[in-house]
Amino acid sequence: MKYSLILCSNMHMDIDKANSIFSENQHIEWVSDYKIADVVIIMTCAFGTKKRYSMFVIADVIKSTKPKTRIIATGCLAKLNKTELEALPNLEVKSLEEVLKMLKMEEDSGCKYEICKIPQDTVIISNGCLKKCSYCVYPLFEGKYTSKPLEAVLSEVKSLYKSGEPVIYITGAHETSDYGIDLYGKRSFARLIDEVCTNFPNAKYVIGWFHPVGLTDDVIRVLSKHKNIVQIMVHIQHVENALLSNMNRPKFEETEERIQKLHAVRPDLGISTELIVGFPGETEEMFNHLVEYLEKRRNIFTDIGIASYEPVINTKASKLSNLPRLEVRNARMQVIKEKFGAVGYEAPKDFEPLLSSFFEACYLLDWYADEM
């Protein structure tokens, strides 16, 4: 039996999961060419335009694989739109846990196949998210928050460090600042990053996906102490408290105070952030306030990611009223993208039906429904 695994996203957490699947199932023969595989596992993505891309991948796999090939969809989209995916021909929909169980039950041939992991410069220290941001579906996918033991994190950093990796990215799969709360009874990121930087001082470190409330005094002290920490990503999302309240995010003044305190002790530290425009209730005036704030903070934010809001089913935000039109949301995203050199994430069509995306992919592949 030959197996193939396809990633629909290059997100660090998906790469980490794929590498775990490979390393834990070395009794299985993995092939890169899914057209010759007996079982194809598609790790789908539900974020933005990757949703449509996932449907294109599914259509291509159904079209191109051998007869009787077993095709399995897993990942975020498989959780979010399980019913719609189950309506597609010749496709099984399973959770990642079900896929892992299936792989472990595969008969052990006695062989140990050579496994080539997908390289990345990232150490993922935790999985899941304790925050309840109203627009985000990840907590619904991942369940409880789980941290890797400190010793395991240090071992992974050591491996990258010994390989000569000049910059090591330290992040949670979804949220970093709550690291250790499940293992040690309190947030322990300050302790973790202090040990990392002390034990492996000749690399540079970038910290990802940090919630503003986690930017506590002890974390700021550690960031001040270790100059080999060169960047941290702190998501502010917006500057309007009315919107932040509906997002279930901290008040703007609280976040701004923490960022200013950090910048005061580490003016050389790169601070990147992510924003959402076009959230339900955002007026032109509110958007202009955000632009004005970014103008004043050009000396602080080294990188900006900007997403035009995308309603995601099963989230609280998707039920809010006063959603700006799609063209307005994307236009506001474009303004910040051009004005500040931001990386932009455009919202796709609102609640685009998955089956429509699937059949669109079929036609783009010159493959018609009557051939299915």
pLDDT tens, residue order, the chain (372 aa): 899 999 998 887 888 888 888 888 888 889 989 999 999 999 998 877 788 889 889 999 999 999 999 999 999 889 888 888 998 889 999 998 899 899 988 766 566 666 667 778 999 999 989 999 999 988 777 778 999 999 999 999 999 999 999 999 999 988 999 999 999 999 999 999 999 999 999 999 999 999 999 999 999 999 999 999 999 999 999 999 999 999 999 999 999 999 999 999 999 999 999 999 999 999 999 999 999 999 999 999 999 999 999 888 789 999 999 999 999 999 999 999 999 999 998 887 655 567 777 777 777 777 654 554
| Cα distance between residue 366 and residue 312, in whole Å | 30
pLDDT at 372: 47
DSSP state of 130: -
| Cα distance between residue 139 and residue 168, in whole Å | 26
| Cα distance between residue 254 and residue 296, in whole Å | 17
| Cα distance between residue 33 and residue 45, in whole Å | 20
| Cα distance between residue 189 and residue 341, in whole Å | 31
> Over the range 301-324, which residues count as b (16 or more CB within 10 Å of their CB) and which as e?
beebbbbbbbbbeebebbebeebb
- The region that residue 301 occupies, defined by phi over 0 for left and psi between -120 and 50 for alpha, beta otherwise, is beta
Report the C-alpha dihedral over residues 288, 290, 294, 300, rounded to 10 degrees.
170
Residue 54 makes CB contacts below 8 A (sequence gap 6+) with 8, 42, 44, 45, 46, 75, 77
Q: Where are the alpha helices (DSSP H) in 149-267?
A: 150-162, 181-184, 189-199, 217-225, 241-247, 252-265
Helix (H, G, I), strand (E, B) or coil at 184: helix
pLDDT at 9: 86
Amino acid occupying residue 130:
L
- Rounded alpha-carbon distances, angstroms, from residue 209 to 9, 115, 175, 192, 284: 17, 29, 6, 16, 28
Q: Which structure tokens are listed for 12?
A: 């660090």
Q: Are 229 and 216 in contact (CB under 8 A)?
A: no
| Cα distance between residue 178 and residue 192, in whole Å | 11
Instruction: Determine whether 171 is exposed, middle or buried from the number of CB atoms within 10 Å of its CB (0-12, 13-18, 19+).
Output: buried
